[in-house]
Amino acid sequence: MIKAPPASNLVRLKKVIADLFFDALHASGELFKIIIPISIATRFLQQWGIVDQLGLLLGPVMELVGLPGQLGLVWATAMVTSIYGGMVVFASVAPGLELSVAQVTVLGSMILVAHGLPVELRIAQKAGTRFRAMALIRVGGALLLGWILHVCYQFSGTLQQENHALWNPAKVEPTWNGWMVAELRTMVIIFLIILGLMTFLQVLKKMGISDLMTRFLEPVLAVLGMGREAAPITIIGMTLGLSYGGGLIIQEAQSGRLSKQDVFSSVALMGLCHSIFEDTLLLMVLGAHVSGIFWGRLLFSLLVVFLLARLVKALPKPIFYRYLVRRMKSDPADTEVHSC
């Protein structure tokens, strides 16, 4: 006969579950404060045609990376909305352009580095970094990576065959009611993911696997000039992404356990290279090659953050705090620096 667990154990289990639920609710709430108003604003921008105008303005920029000007609308949509939005627009404008695999890979890499910027840059800002600095890193990084890949593919003559996308979704124009239902569904999914993530992290911590992962990542972070404490949120951001891991990232960054240099480097790395598995698979569906959207993006991101970390160390503190990071409530020791 199986013995029932002691009452004290049940009480502890209930407390753990309750704590996880309310922690997830708090973290989700912090994230929803950012996502909801920006999602509404983005919806209006789409309805008013401003996203389309932005796409036209980006036409000449796309030509610099070897892409047809029409694809500016794809990147503009992805930057303002999400990867999924960019994919839908790609499906409508790509037919007839006779794109090569190399061109789709260049476009896909740029989308992966710079997408969902209104939400993700606000999350980065809440974590303690400057909005303009992260916007420059994301958009400038996307253009630089796109140009590097374009030059490499062009001079090597690789991936020049015609592209064949595996996914061709129909363009959807949802009503406001349909849009609100979709947004509510997204909020529920985000909450469940955060709750599951917190539970998973607690299990990893109890089993000692969290410390093992941290020790494994520590040498890589050390080379990039980042401290050991930055490992947990860096793992979250790079695997789950800034939107799903954003609540935890903000919470950890505001705890005061990380140095400002580590926060900046970590958020920069996560911005350039996040959701490395899910997002990579999404762009492969469009025909993009793994050489650019995974390996190219990963190596490029590590190199950029390596150089940024060295730059940050060389900068005078007043410049660092004025242009790259923001003061948080948990930074009482920074008062003297900010008074400069």
Is residue 157 a part of any domain in this protein?
yes
| Per-residue pLDDT tens over the stretch 17-71 | 888 888 788 877 776 776 677 667 767 776 787 767 777 788 888 999 999 888 8
- Contacts of residue 146, defined as CB under 8 A and 6 or more positions apart, other chains included, come to 65, 67, 106, 107, 109, 110
| Domain range enclosing 302 | 7-332
Q: 185: exposed, middle or buried (C-beta count within 10 Å: 0-12, 13-18, 19+)?
A: exposed
Please, are residues 128 and 260 in contact by the beta-carbon 8 Å criterion?
yes
Q: What is the mean pLDDT of the chain?
A: 80
Q: What is the pLDDT of residue 5?
A: 53
Residue 135 binned pLDDT confidence (cut-offs 50, 70, 90):
very high
Is residue 340 a part of any domain in this protein?
no
Output the pTM of the full model.
0.74
Percent of the chain clearing pLDDT 90 (strictly above): 27
Report the C-alpha gap between 65 and 144 in whole angstroms.
Answer: 9
Residue type, 317: K
Backbone angles phi, psi at 11, to 5 degrees: -65, -45
Is residue 339 a part of any domain in this protein?
no
Q: How many CB atoms lie within 10 A of CB 225?
A: 18
User: Average pLDDT of 171-200?
Assistant: 73
- CA 90, 96, 101, 106 torsion: positive or negative? negative
Residue 121 binned pLDDT confidence (cut-offs 50, 70, 90):
very high
User: Coil, strand or helix: which one is 258?
Assistant: coil
Residue 339 binned pLDDT confidence (cut-offs 50, 70, 90):
very low
Is residue 2 a part of any domain in this protein?
no
Which tokens sit at 193? 């993911």
Segments in 49-116 forming alpha helices (H)? 50-57, 59-64, 72-80, 83-93, 101-113
Is residue 22 a part of any domain in this protein?
yes
Residue 307 binned pLDDT confidence (cut-offs 50, 70, 90):
very high
Please give the tally of structural domains in the chain. 1
* Residues 78-100 as b or e (16 or more Cβ within 10 Å = b): bbbbbbebbbbbbbebbeeeebb
Q: What is the pLDDT of residue 338?
A: 37
Q: Which of 212, 227, 288 is nearest to 258 (CA)?
A: 227
Q: What is the pLDDT of residue 46?
A: 67
Residue 242 binned pLDDT confidence (cut-offs 50, 70, 90):
confident
Is residue 338 a part of any domain in this protein?
no
Q: Is the pLDDT of residue 293 over 90?
A: yes
Please, are residues 64 and 45 in contact by the beta-carbon 8 Å criterion?
no
Q: What is the pLDDT of residue 177?
A: 79
| Per-residue pLDDT tens over the stretch 66-114 | 998 888 888 988 898 888 778 877 877 787 788 999 999 999 999 999 9
Greatest mean pLDDT range, 134-148, 221-235, 249-263: 134-148
Which tokens sit at 321? 């705090």
Q: Which of 155, 135, 153 is nearest to 143 (CA)?
A: 135
Segments in the chain forming alpha helices (H)? 7-48, 50-57, 59-64, 72-80, 83-93, 101-113, 117-126, 131-156, 176-207, 209-223, 231-240, 242-254, 260-272, 278-285, 290, 297-314, 317-323, 335-338
